[in-house]
Structure 1
C-alpha cells in the first residue's frame, strides 16, 4: 500500500483551483449566452449584455473597496489622534539621572530626588 503525499506547493493548488473556477465561470457565461440567443436576442446584444454585467460587477466591487479603504483610513487617522493625545506632555521636562543636591540619582523636573537612597550612606553620593 502506497500512501499519497502532497509534493505540490500551495501556490500550485491555489492556481489549479483558480483555473477550475475560471473555466466554470466561462462555461456558465457560454450557457447564459446560448440561452439568450435561443430566446431571440441577437448575438451582438448578448455580448454587450454580458460585458455590461461584468462592468456592473466591477463597478460594485470598486465602490465597496473605496468605502472599505476610506473607513480603514479614517480609523487609522482617529487612532493616530488618540495616540497623540496621550503624549500631550512631550515637551515637558522628564525625570533624569544627574548629580544634584542629594548626590547622583534620579531627580524630578522640580529638582527633588525621587529614587530611594540613604543620605547617611557615604557610598550613596
Structure 2
C-alpha cells in the first residue's frame, strides 16, 4: 500500500497513460524484432532497420509539422491583414484619388453591350 494518497489530477492521469503507451510500444517492438530474428535476419540488421524506421517516421512527422505550422502562420498573417486593413477611400496604387469613370464615356461604348437606359446619342432610326 502506498504511503501517500495520489490525488487523481489530470496531469497524473496523462503521465500514467503516456507511461503505459511507452511500455506497450517497447513490448510490441521487442515482439516484432524477435519475430524478424526468428525468420533468419541478423540481430544487428533488425536493430538498424528499427532505427531507420524510427528516423523515417520522425522525419515524416517533422515534415508534416513544418507545413502545418507554415499554414498556420499564413492564416494568422492573413487574418491580421484583414483586420488591420481599413479602406478609407478609393485610390490608385500611387495613393492618388481616382474618379469613378462612366463607361458611357469610353471610346468603344455601345449600348447594345450594356444593360443601360437608352442613350440619346444612339437612336435607332
TM-score by length of 2: 0.62
Question: Residue in 2 aligned with 1:62?
Answer: 62
Consecutive unaligned residues of structure 2, counting only runs of 5 or more, are 1-5, 90-125
Report the CA distance shift for 1:76/1:88 in structure 2 as closer, same or farther (over 3 A): farther
Query: Aligned residues, how many?
Result: 84
Matched, 1:72 2:72: yes
Question: Residue in 2 aligned with 1:14?
Answer: 14
Cα distance in structure 2, aligned partners of 1:88 and 1:49? 63
Question: Residue in 1 aligned with 2:49?
Answer: 49
Question: Residue in 2 aligned with 1:96?
Answer: none
TM-score by length of 1: 0.62
Question: Residue in 1 aligned with 2:114?
Answer: none
Cα distance in structure 1, aligned partners of 2:25 and 2:62? 20
Cα distance in structure 1, aligned partners of 2:31 and 2:37? 10
Cα distance in structure 1, aligned partners of 2:8 and 2:14? 10
Shift of 1:54: 0.5
Shift of 1:85: 1.4
Report the CA distance shift for 1:81/1:23 in structure 2 as closer, same or farther (over 3 A): same
Question: Residue in 2 aligned with 1:24?
Answer: 24
Cα distance in structure 2, aligned partners of 1:54 and 1:88? 55
Q: Which of 1 and 2 has higher RCO (CA within 8 Å, sep 6+)?
A: 1
Cα distance in structure 1, aligned partners of 2:38 and 2:64? 35
| SS in structure 2 at match of 1:86 | coil
Cα distance in structure 2, aligned partners of 1:77 and 1:88? 21
Cα distance in structure 1, aligned partners of 2:88 and 2:79? 15
Shift of 1:45: 0.5
